[in-house]
Amino acid sequence: MSVLIAPSILAADFANLEKDSKMLNNSKADWFHIDIMDGVFVPNISFGMPVLKAIQKHAQKPLDVHLMIVDPDRYIETFAKLGAKILTVHQEACNHLHRTIQNIKSYGMKAGVALNPHTPISVLDSIINDVDLVCIMSVNPGFGGQSFIEKTYDKVRELKLLIKKNDSNCLIEIDGGVTNKNASKLISCGADVLVAGSYVFKANNPQENILLLKNQ
């Protein structure tokens, strides 16, 4: 399987979401990555349900929704109704992670778990066969445009070993500071999905940069 590219809408032009959505539809991108932030779990607020509903109207590719919020269980049904195909929650935000994962799946969505930079891969030991995707944060969550954390490569390798050891079908997603300069190494370490925000939307030719990532 070639690497999947999921441009992060957080870096898009919020005044022209229809235009940027159509650009992604016509590009080699695979998913729309959408960060929902509450200003509590992370020190920023992004956008909520009305904006996601507007994006969903124009998106012709799966919505990969990343919840950076406390108590995400409150909104699982809502995000299912808004068209999320993949719903990712933070391990650090869930008191009963297994229950949350099962709840996500009960609504027909793929279930993802995100790990902050300080969180060890070992927290997934007992749940790796229950999740469809693990999102490794390669920056501290909450803001776009941050520098890539080099320790991420080791975490990807460790996660890949855990997946193989348990014969899991889980995908590895990398979120934060992804560019053409680190994409190839991330893929060689085991990454399956690359989230890219500024590298795509701040480029003179976003579709070309998506293609550069896709062809690593």
Which residue out of 20, 38, 64, 175 is catalytically annotated?
Answer: 175
**What b-and-e string marks burial along 166-187, b requiring 16 or more CB atoms within 10 Å of the CB?**
eebebbbbbbbbbeeebbeebb
Q: Please say if 175 is a catalytic residue.
A: yes
pLDDT confidence of residue 1: 66
Which residue out of 35, 38, 132, 192 is catalytically annotated?
Answer: 35
Mean of pLDDT values over 121-138: 97
Question: Can you name the CATH fold of 4-214?
Answer: TIM Barrel (3.20.20)
pLDDT confidence of residue 125: 96
Say whether pLDDT at 134 is over 70: yes
Q: Distance between CA atoms of 54 and 52, rounded to whole angstroms?
A: 5
- Indicate the average pLDDT of the chain: 94
Question: What are the pLDDT digits (tens) for 21-53?
Answer: 999 999 999 999 999 999 898 888 888 888 899
pLDDT confidence of residue 145: 63
Q: Please say if 132 is a catalytic residue.
A: no
Mean of pLDDT values over 145-155: 89
> Rounded to two decimals, what is the model's pTM?
0.95
Domain residue extents for the chain: 4-214
